[in-house]
């Protein structure tokens, strides 16, 4: 498929330009200032790539792709290291499902802890991967700051968390049933991120930065080596966490529908670092609220809990460092959403979806997010749509 022409804006920055797959006048002032701060860093390569779901975040903007030479900023990854998506298409069709979906939702909620919940016993094993022993042996080599969290890390493997994390049952336009979920590295990833962000802020070369939260580690230093070691372990934890949850959810479907089969999962991080080559340079590419969209890469771009999601295939656009958006992106903060909307509003906006409709998740109301269809349209030169999904069950913490 031929790439469509770029429709966004290019904004000059102090060191590099800011290339945006949206219009600059649609980006809130705080986020634009963050992007200017990023573009002023001396290690940023070529330009900052800004996805159409861009919005303000801690330190670095959500929806930003930052390629650096010889440096990496832990705040440009975020505190939920390895957060991402996994989706599986099943052999079921809409007419295989009961009219009342409460029992199916309840069954999934019983096996996948949400919010601050965790498993009572270890929930993973050989059915998820064959190298669990070697993976967990790496825990002993993580920073001392997390050594007391062994039990929590074990029991949170295969759990959803809260906030914008979710597990859904969806239908595509052919009425095929999908399972889809969004989660990351849970408490252990957060602790590792907070530790390394704190270490970076204390390094001498970061004292004159426009924003202390953009502190970086430099190549060939022990601090960089320690961060990359812990980072890659946490990214693997996140991938495994999603794999375990997906297996648990598939088990629930298999019990209720013994004839069901499952296709190979699609999985992608959207808060992570990757070592990649772009424009002939070896770089550390940070995607915070962005997925890799190399030529042929399958990815997942979710909307809100009432507006549907997309399965996409990357077009390998070099100007985005082969990236695309990670979702719809927030159009207002959680506090703003709580003040503006009620549980009644949430119920109206999620009509037809089996999900929580109480005040505890009003901050996740669809109106708090950007229009997912417009977000997809703005990146027609980054991805092509493979499938459009609409959720019929949405589970949140």
Q: Is 328 annotated as a binding residue?
A: yes
Catalytic position from the list 119, 196, 269, 326: 326
**pLDDT at site 8:** 81
337 is in an annotated binding site: no
pLDDT computed for residue 58 by the predictor: 83
Question: How far apart, in whole angstroms, are the C-alpha atoms of residue 139 and residue 229?
Answer: 11
Q: What is the pLDDT of residue 130?
A: 72
| Res 397: pLDDT | 84
Contact by Cβ (8 Å): 293, 317: yes
CB-based contact 20:47 (threshold 8 Å): no
Residue 1 annotated as binding?
A: no
pTM exceeding 0.85: yes
Is 305 labeled as ligand-binding?
yes
Domains, the chain, ranges and CATH?
9-331+369-396 (3.90.1860.10)
User: Which residues does 108 contact at the CB level (< 8 Å), separation at least 6?
Assistant: 167, 169, 248, 249, 252, 393, 395
Residues with pLDDT less than 70, the chain: 1-5
Residue 329, token pair as written in the block: 């992106």
For residues 295 and 317, what is the distance between their CA atoms, to the nearest angstrom?
8
User: What angle is formed at CA 148 by the lines to CA 234 and CA 289, rounded to 5 degrees?
Assistant: 25
Q: How far apart are CA 216 and CA 37, in angstroms?
A: 13
First-residue to last-residue Cα distance in the chain: 39
pLDDT of residue 5: 66
Q: In the annotation, is 326 catalytic?
A: yes
CA 37, 378, 82, 318 dihedral sign is negative
Q: Which pLDDT belongs to residue 122?
A: 93
Q: What is the pLDDT of residue 379?
A: 97
Q: Is 165 annotated as a binding residue?
A: yes
d(C-alpha 199, C-alpha 73), whole Å:
11
């Amino acid at each position: 498929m031929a790439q469509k022409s770029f429709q966004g804006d290019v904004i000059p920055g102090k060191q590099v330009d800011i290339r945006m797959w949206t219009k600059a006048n649609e980006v809130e002032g705080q986020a634009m200032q963050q992007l200017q701060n990023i573009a002023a860093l001396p290690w940023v390569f070529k330009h900052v790539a800004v996805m159409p779901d861009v919005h303000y975040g801690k330190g670095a903007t959500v929806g930003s792709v930052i390629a650096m030479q010889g440096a990496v900023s832990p705040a440009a990854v975020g505190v939920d290291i390895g957060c991402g998506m996994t989706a599986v298409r099943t052999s079921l069709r809409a007419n295989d499902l009961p009219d009342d979906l409460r029992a199916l939702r309840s069954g999934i909620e019983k096996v996948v802890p949400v919010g601050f919940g965790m498993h009572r016993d270890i929930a993973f094993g050989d059915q998820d991967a064959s190298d669990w022993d070697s993976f967990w042996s790496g825990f002993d080599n993580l920073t001392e700051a997390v050594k007391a969290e062994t039990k929590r890390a074990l029991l949170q493997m295969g759990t959803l968390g809260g906030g914008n994390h979710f597990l859904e049952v969806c239908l595509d336009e052919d009425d095929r049933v999908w399972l889809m979920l969004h989660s990351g590295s849970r408490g252990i990833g957060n602790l590792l991120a907070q530790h390394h962000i704190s270490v970076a802020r204390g390094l001498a070369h970061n004292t004159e930065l426009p924003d202390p939260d953009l502190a970086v580690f430099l190549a060939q230093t022990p601090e960089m080596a320690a961060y990359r070691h812990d980072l890659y372990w946490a990214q693997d934890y996140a991938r495994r966490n999603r794999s375990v949850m997906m297996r648990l959810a598939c088990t629930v479907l298999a019990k209720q529908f013994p004839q069901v089969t499952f296709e190979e999962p699609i999985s992608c991080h959207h808060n992570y670092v990757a070592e990649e080559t772009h424009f002939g340079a070896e770089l550390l590419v940070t995607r915070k609220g962005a997925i890799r969209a190399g030529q042929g890469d399958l990815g997942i771009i979710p909307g809100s809990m009432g507006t549907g999601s997309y399965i996409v295939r990357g077009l390998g656009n070099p100007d985005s460092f082969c990236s695309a958006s990670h979702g719809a992106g927030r159009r207002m903060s959680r506090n703003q959403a709580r003040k503006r909307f009620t549980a009644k509003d949430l119920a109206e906006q999620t009509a037809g979806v089996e999900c929580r409709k109480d005040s505890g998740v009003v901050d996740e109301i669809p109106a708090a997010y950007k229009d997912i269809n417009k977000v997809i349209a703005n990146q027609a030169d980054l991805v092509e749509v493979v499938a459009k999904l609409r959720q019929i069950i949405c589970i949140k913490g």
